[in-house]
């Protein structure tokens, strides 16, 4: 969907346009925050804070400089950094959340395979938890938000080359953190 007209209306003061942006972007903002922080309560706070800030400051957004998504991602990443830095008690980590059997697409037929699936995904998120915040940002922005390196640089506030090297380092660390067995399993499951 082309959000430019909606954004323009919101910039002119149309609260229905602001409401539409809020509704349309709340889930993706929450999910990005959850990917960055791995904690449901923290992610809710960060997503609420980022969306509120973005809409109340929408007159500062310039569509010629970046897409609205990139601008909102930048605010979300910044808020997530603040949140992580002041680390308030998390209620539940994403790895735990996965382990508790919340909604995960079930594409494995039997209960054992299903259990294995969750176990391996929990390991993936435990490995993500072990990355430094900036490396985790690189992984989530590239592999979840499908950002280009240029967008990653804008969002993370670094050069394009730094964004590239962060992702490369993140992959190396993830591979080491996951271990050969989990890497083999993840690869097999993905290409199955």
Partner 1 sequence: MAGHGNHSLEPAHPDDATLEAYALELIPPDQADTIKQHLEGCPVCAARLRRLSDLHASIAAGLHRALDPARPKRPLDFARVESEWRKPPRRVSAAARLARLMSGILSVIAVALFALTLTVLALQDHQPALSTLRLAESYNGPPAVVAAAVEEGVAIVALDAQGPRVVRLVPNLNPVDALQIAPDGRWVAFEQSQTLHLIETRAGGTAVKLELGERSGWSWAPEGHILAYTDGRGQLALFDPTDQAHTLLVPAAEQAWGQPVWSPAGEQIAYATAALPDDNPAAPSGIWRVDLATGYRIELARSPAVGTTLLAPIAWLDGGSDLLARSVSEPYAPPTLYRIDVARRMAVTLDASTPVQGRQLVWPVNARGQMLAVRQGQVVIYDLPREEARAIPNRLRQPAAAAWSPAGTWLALVVPGQPEGGGLYLYAPEQGRLRQIQLPKGAAEKSVTWAGPEHLFVTRQPDSSAQAELWLVSIAGDQVPRRLLSGIALSQTGLPHNAIAARVVLPSAS
Which CB, 2 or 105, lies closer to partner 1? 105
Contacting partner 1 (CB under 8 A), which of 35, 137, 153, 154? Answer: 35
Contacting partner 1 (CB under 8 A), which of 56, 100, 113, 176? Answer: 56
Which of positions 148-177 make contact with partner 1 (CB under 8 A)?
149, 164, 167-168, 171, 174-175
Which CB, 70 or 75, lies closer to partner 1? 75
Contacting partner 1 (CB under 8 A), which of 3, 66, 67, 78? Answer: 78
- What radius of gyration, in Å, describes the C-alpha atoms of the chain? 18
Tell which phi-psi region holds residue 40, choosing left (phi > 0), alpha (psi between -120 and 50) or beta.
alpha
102 to 59, 99, 106: CA distances (angstroms): 38, 8, 11
Which of positions 129-148 make contact with partner 1 (CB under 8 A)?
129-133, 135, 139-140, 143-144
CB of 67 to partner 1, least distance (A): 18
Count of residues touching partner 1 (by CB under 8 A): 79
Confirm or reject binding of residue 190 to partner 1 (CB under 8 A): yes
Contacting partner 1 (CB under 8 A), which of 4, 15, 115, 179? Answer: 15
How many other CB atoms sit within 10 Å of the CB of residue 45? Answer: 17
CB of 148 to partner 1, least distance (A): 9
Looking up tokens 């809020």 gives 22
141 to 58, 131, 132: CA distances (angstroms): 22, 14, 14
Which of positions 90-129 make contact with partner 1 (CB under 8 A)?
90, 93-96, 98, 102-105, 121, 124-126, 129
Confirm or reject binding of residue 57 to partner 1 (CB under 8 A): yes
The H or E element that residue 20 is part of is: helix 15-37
Which CB, 10 or 70, lies closer to partner 1? 10
Between CA 181 and CA 120, with CA 139 as vertex, the angle to 5 degrees is 30
Angle formed by the axes of helices 149-156 and 160-191, nearest 10°: 120
What is the Cα–Cα distance from 187 to 174, expressed in whole angstroms?
13
Confirm or reject binding of residue 30 to partner 1 (CB under 8 A): yes
């Amino acid at each position: 969907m082309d959000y430019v007209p909606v954004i323009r209306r919101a910039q002119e003061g149309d609260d229905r346009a602001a409401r539409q942006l809020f509704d349309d972007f709340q889930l993706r903002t929450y999910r990005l925050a959850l990917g960055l922080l791995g904690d449901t309560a923290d992610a809710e706070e960060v997503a609420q804070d980022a969306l509120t800030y973005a809409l109340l400051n929408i007159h500062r957004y310039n569509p010629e400089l970046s897409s609205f998504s990139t601008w909102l991602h930048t605010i979300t990443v910044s808020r997530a950094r603040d949140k992580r830095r002041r680390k308030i008690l998390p209620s539940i980590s994403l790895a735990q959340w996965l382990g508790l059997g919340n909604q995960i697409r079930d594409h494995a037929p039997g209960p054992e395979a299903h259990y294995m699936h969750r176990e391996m995904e929990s390991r993936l998120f435990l490995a993500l938890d072990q990355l430094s915040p900036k490396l985790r940002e690189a992984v989530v922005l590239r592999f979840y938000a499908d950002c280009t390196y240029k967008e990653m640089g804008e969002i993370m506030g670094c050069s394009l080359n730094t964004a590239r090297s962060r992702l490369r380092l993140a992959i190396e660390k993830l591979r080491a953190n996951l271990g050969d067995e989990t890497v083999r399993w993840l690869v097999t499951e993905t290409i199955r």
